[in-house]
Amino acid sequence: MFRQIARFHALASSKHFNITSEIKHAIANKQPVVALESTIISHGMPYPQNVQTAQAVQDIVRSEGAIPATIAILEGRVHIGLEDEVLEQLGKMGQEAQKTSRRDLALVLAKKGSGATTVASTMILARAAGIPVFVTGGIGGVHRGADQSFDISADLTELGKTPVAVICAGVKSILDIEKTLEVLETQGVSVTTIGESQRFPAFYTPDSGFDSPSRIDNASEAADIIYSNHMLELDSGMVFAVPIPKEQAADTQAIQQAIVTAITEARSNGISGKDETPFLLKRISELTKGESLAANIALVKNNAKIGAKIAVELSKRVLANNKS
């Protein structure tokens, strides 16, 4: 795990990294820290709901005994942890902040730009800082029609080579979930549903119609898996899928109808690549009259609660191992 500590100390003093003193102290002392992405702030929700949700998520992480580390790039510097005023700045910036995946990181830093980190780039930067647990809404995956477009998210290949545990509500419903699970298997990524059912969730709804390869009951079991993954030095990520609570889930039929309509509109307007997901999420929210946005906010908060519990349990194991 924790081969990352030496690397962290080097990054902490780098002029390209701004890590808050609270997070520096927590990582150095192996306390629980939860990484949070920033694309959900700039591209996933409108202002002010994006900032309000980000603040609420950070509060939830703290209430469970962990420290939130929202990650973004601002004026050419990687920020690990965002103060309230910086979070507000990013939220107002919206899509002016470049959606930044692995391929974009060096370019954004070199141009001293501002970027919102995706699942892939957040994993990279979290690993560099020594943070093994990351909470997001949903991961990217294989886009519908990928057999023609070859549009497959970099999140999947990143999960195959970066040992960070990603706690999410599954794959975004706009994607081809069955093919996404197949690619994750090819990449050697452990995929586990946390809860009573082994069904893999579908972001806005708790059941995608497909099973996860495995199921566990709680955060303690998740921490055991993460710890074992690092002890074996597998150097691959893990997906822990947390179904949205049924009472907060969107209506399955309404969501599917909205997705089909939004995808058809995106194709008709030539919207693809990195612009497609933000367009689809916004259009689906409009078509469902805000129901999808409400579900999105609810699932992110739920993921944060579970992710923080996992980080706390993992920290206990690391500290116990150091004493033995």
For 138, the token pair is 């949903």
CA 210 to chain centre: 21
CA-to-CA distance for 42 and 32, rounded, in angstroms? 26
Q: Of the listed 37, 158, 276, 313, which one is catalytic?
A: 37
Cβ neighbour number for residue 111 with a 10 Å cutoff: 11
Active site residue 178: no
Active site residue 305: no
The single residue of 30, 64, 158, 172 carrying the catalytic annotation is 172
Please give the positions annotated as active site. Answer: 37, 172
